Structure 1
Amino acid sequence: MALAAASSAGAGGRSPLGGALVLQLLHTLGEGVRHLAMYRCQEAIDAFVQLPASHYATGWVQCQVGRAHFEMVEYAEAERAFQWARRVCPHRLEGMEVYSTVLWHLKKEADLSFLAKETIAHDRHSPEAWCAMGNCFSLQREHEAAIRFFQRALQLRPGFTYAHTLCGHEYFTNEDYDKGLTCYRGAIRIDARHYNAWYGLGAIYLRQEKYDLAEHHFRRALNINPRSSVLHCYLGMAIHRNGRHGEALKQLCDGIALDPKNALAKFQKANVLMAVERYHDALAELEALKAQAPREASLYFLMGKIYKRLEQPDRAMVHFSLALDLKPSSSDANAIKAAIEKLSLPDDEPADDAIDEPADDAEDYAPAYY
């Protein structure tokens, strides 16, 4: 290796070339860490790629690359980086809490279960291992067990910010909002730049219909991580609920520009377009979204409501029926049935009375982003 050769050159003295190479290596690593700390994730990846192959292939660097892809919601790429890290450093525990969240998003139950068991077997006193175990049970919808495992991680390391946030997400899923707020606030007390917890607070306030508070906390999160498509989307949802449709539309468009695959942002954009009576634009957005989420009941339900407003009851009925055929949740099914019963009545409901979110994606970001 060039660095080793340079450092061994000049017996009895220091090699100027070796010192320069060390400084260059540290500079490149520092640039990657700096960009990642500021959530400039693509720049971080570009910096790490410039490392010599032997350094790029280390477990630590691959975990940083994996985290950068994770922050950009590129879960498949993140998984590959973490797999590489585990191949070169099988007993590495640092970063496994993020890797387990990547597997949670990819819904890879077997891989996540294997990771959790292997990390626990390696070190039962590792908080990262207990976070992996918590994510494993969260994916199986055993939220009480997941909470116990995240709390075990906090017993081992009370200052583990991400464990506080993961615990908060489980309380959020269980609709125990007071405890969720406590967890998120605990994370922020440890690290005020932990945008995931600011997001969690905003998500709870949005669910509680405290839209001003939700908007405030989403803005705090976005100030820390301005390149997050998800944060732009949720801020747009809060602004929309506060009645500022034009501003909401801008936030949602910004989110889609950052991540064209963000189905929730596209759905919410259609919701806002419906609210401002741009029905044909909303339908065009939903038609395009059908290719990405063809089995999403809420998409067809919203299309049905738009066709009703366009005074096309036959097409509305077709889409309501399609929504029911996709077996939505019981609450969504009741909303669809109520809309069918009112199909012949004047539409005097607020324009944003549709199902707010695609059911499959409604909480999909919570445990990871989050």
Structure 2
Amino acid sequence: MRKILILLAAVILVSCAGSKTKNVCKNTEYIKAIKDKAIDEFNRANYQLALEDMLTVKDCEARDPEVYYWLGRIYYARVEKEKARTNLEQALSLNPQYPEANEFMGMMFLEEGKYDQAISYLKTAATNDRYRLAYQAWNSLGWIYLQQGKLQDAEAAFARSLALNPNFCWAHCNLGELKAKQKNYAAAYASYQKALELCPDLPRAHRLLGLEYTRQGKRQPACTEFGLALKYAAPDSEDGKSSQEYLKVLNCPQP
């Protein structure tokens, strides 16, 4: 008899919980507020709270691709990449043209050095006429083509990026690196200067400008640029480590 009562209590508890969830889900304004709160928590780097809130939204909106996109972003920030990928894939299964999800999935593959997979997703994002951040996807495509030695494709992609957003400093910086590979050093210098005019704290542009000054035999300005790159870069990043080496090679004063 006691076991039966315990089971009945459990059933009633589950039923009440399910009823409560259903009632909450009927309040669309409340669910939207929870979603907005989750995104705000994410932007504040409160990833645990963001996850809890977005999972609550998922209970009510299991067919909303935006929910899975944000879960993917949250899990990625928590360094749970497989869960991030699973949720992004779910977002894209619900909306294959979802530009933000395509771009983020492409960036994950880019980070892993899986360029062919990255290109597929980034192209979908870049060619979406409704995507306001398509210039980012074009820039990422250009960077991949640059790594692959496809300089014409890279230049075309950077041109598309800058046509959409002439003030995107990363595209100017990457275009400068491409021009340097083409031995068009004057154009490379101009691109680095433009990048730094727009983003004075961009370490990559400072490092590449330092390399250009080194090529010209201008030690003092090269030292200055490598010092600035080291100032703004993460110490264990390519820009940070490379700048530190050049500061030693050129016997620059330590910043």
> Which aligned pairs between 1:116-131 and structure 2 lie closer than 5 A?
126-131=30-35
> Does the aligned pair in 1 maintain the 2:179–2:185 contact within 8 Å?
yes
Is 1:207–2:111 an aligned residue pair? yes
Taking the aligned partners of 2:214 and 2:78, their CA distance within structure 1 comes to: 35
In the other structure, the counterpart of 2:200 is: 294
> Which aligned pairs between 1:89-238 and structure 2 lie closer than 5 A?
126-225=30-129, 228-238=134-144
> Which aligned pairs between 1:329-344 and structure 2 lie closer than 5 A?
329-332=234-237, 333-343=240-250
Taking the aligned partners of 1:235 and 1:147, their CA distance within structure 2 comes to: 30
Gaps of 5+ in 1: 1-119, 345-370
Q: Structure 2 vs 1, CA of residues 241 and 144 (structure 1 numbering), >3 Å: closer, same or farther?
A: farther
> Does the aligned pair in 2 maintain the 1:134–1:150 contact within 8 Å?
yes
> Does the aligned pair in 1 maintain the 2:169–2:196 contact within 8 Å?
no
Report the residue type matching 1:331 in the other structure.
D
The one of the two structures with greater contact order (alpha-carbon pairs below 8 A, sep at least 6) is 1
1:151 offset after TM fit, Å? 2.2
1:251 offset after TM fit, Å? 0.7
Which TM-score applies when normalising by structure 2?
0.77
Cα RMSD after superposing both structures: 2.4
Match of 2:220 among 301, 306, 314: 314
1:209 offset after TM fit, Å? 1.0
Which TM-score applies when normalising by structure 1?
0.55
Taking the aligned partners of 2:37 and 2:183, their CA distance within structure 1 comes to: 47
> Does the aligned pair in 2 maintain the 1:270–1:286 contact within 8 Å?
yes
1:208 offset after TM fit, Å? 0.7
> Does the aligned pair in 2 maintain the 1:134–1:145 contact within 8 Å?
yes
The secondary structure found in structure 1 opposite 2:113 is: coil
> Does the aligned pair in 1 maintain the 2:202–2:232 contact within 8 Å?
no
Taking the aligned partners of 2:80 and 2:208, their CA distance within structure 1 comes to: 29
Q: Structure 2 vs 1, CA of residues 163 and 244 (structure 1 numbering), >3 Å: closer, same or farther?
A: same
Is 1:274–2:180 an aligned residue pair? yes
Q: Structure 2 vs 1, CA of residues 174 and 265 (structure 1 numbering), >3 Å: closer, same or farther?
A: farther
> Does the aligned pair in 2 maintain the 1:298–1:323 contact within 8 Å?
yes
In the other structure, the counterpart of 1:246 is: 152
The secondary structure found in structure 1 opposite 2:236 is: helix
1:226 offset after TM fit, Å? 7.6
> Does the aligned pair in 1 maintain the 2:106–2:120 contact within 8 Å?
yes
The superposition leaves residues 178-208 of structure 1 with CA deviations (integer Å, 9 ceiling, x where unpaired) of 2221111100111122122111110100111
Q: Structure 2 vs 1, CA of residues 274 and 170 (structure 1 numbering), >3 Å: closer, same or farther?
A: farther
In the other structure, the counterpart of 1:328 is: 233
Sequence identity percentage: 17
Per residue, is there more helix in 1 or in 2?
Answer: 2
Taking the aligned partners of 2:204 and 2:234, their CA distance within structure 1 comes to: 10
